[in-house]
Structure formats: C-alpha cells, structure tokens
Structure 1
C-alpha cells in the first residue's frame, strides 16, 4: 500500500498540458485587466463627484457658504487616500501581476 512512484507515471500524468496552462493564463490576465478597469472606473466616479461638490460649493452665495460649511481639509485628504491613492496602488500591483503573467505566457509558448 505504497504511494505510486512518480517516475512510473507517464510524462503528462499529474501535470497540466501547455494548452491548459495557456488558457488559464489568458483567463487570469483577462480577469485582472477587468479588475483594473473596475477600480479605475471607481476612482473616476469619485473624482467626478468631488469636482461637482466643489463646483456646487463655489457657486453658493457667501452667506450660504458660511451656513453650509465645507469639509475640513484633513477629511478631504483621508477621502483622497481611501478613494484614490490606495486603489491606484492596487492597480499598479495588478498591472505588475499581469505583466508577469504575460511574460510567463510568452516563455511557455
């Protein structure tokens, strides 16, 4: 009741064929690129919303601006870090992963 010897098995037993690896890498790259596009879209929506809020605040009369108030600068900085900086760092990391996957895809071909 021993384990089967790997050397006795055929060359394709237990390993994926190149076609399987190629299709896996293609789907992996497509998934990561989709994730990158989604993150970039979220960042664009945030920047558009911030710009619209700023324009609305600037268009208010001075009396209304005093009453309405404005978000403190440190709140804006934290929002920027949360909605722009960290997601864009993730995009950079995902792009590196995609680049590595493409390199291995080219080397396997």
Structure 2
C-alpha cells in the first residue's frame, strides 16, 4: 500500500507547531495525521522539539471547562470525532475521559 503524501498545509503546520510545547498528539489531531507520521515528517524536515520534550505520547491534560464540555457532549448523539476535533485531541482521549467518568453514549449515538 503506497504511503500517503503530506500536503503543503500539513508540512507548514509541522514546521510551525512541532518546535513548540504543543503536544504532538494535538498537532497530529489538528493536521489529521498519525503521531508517528508527524514525528517522521518533522525528522524529514529537520524540525526539532524544544529541549526536554519527548517527540510523542505526552499526557493529555484538559481544563475543567474542556472536561465538562467533553462529558456533556459524549452523552449526546454528537460523533466522537467532532467532539475530539473541537477539543483538539484524538478520539481515544474523549473515550478515555468519558470512560473514567462513567459517562456512556446513548443508544441513538452513531457508532464511532
């Protein structure tokens, strides 16, 4: 299977965001890329993370407002992908936070 090509917008996003303290997972979610693809693209571009930051798998920290929004939305029919995109996190972060809080999806929610 051929490798997907990076768009100019994705490459520019990596050039601008990767050298910051923004979590790599947030960069990947915003650019619609896998974390590993962001790290590989950054390496290819010669872009580095700030000293002391690991290239991937940082802990997701949400503000209390984000957590409230996430949990309220998770209990509705809103697709998980839309909740995640609005918060700038991957889908699994939404599911994990909801599971830890004991919030369930309604039966009418789309399967994600």
TM-score tier after normalising by the smaller chain length: under 0.3
| Greater length-normalized contact order (CA 8 Å, ≥ 6 residues apart) | 1
Greater per-residue helix proportion: 1
Tell me the TM-score normalized by structure 2.
Answer: 0.25
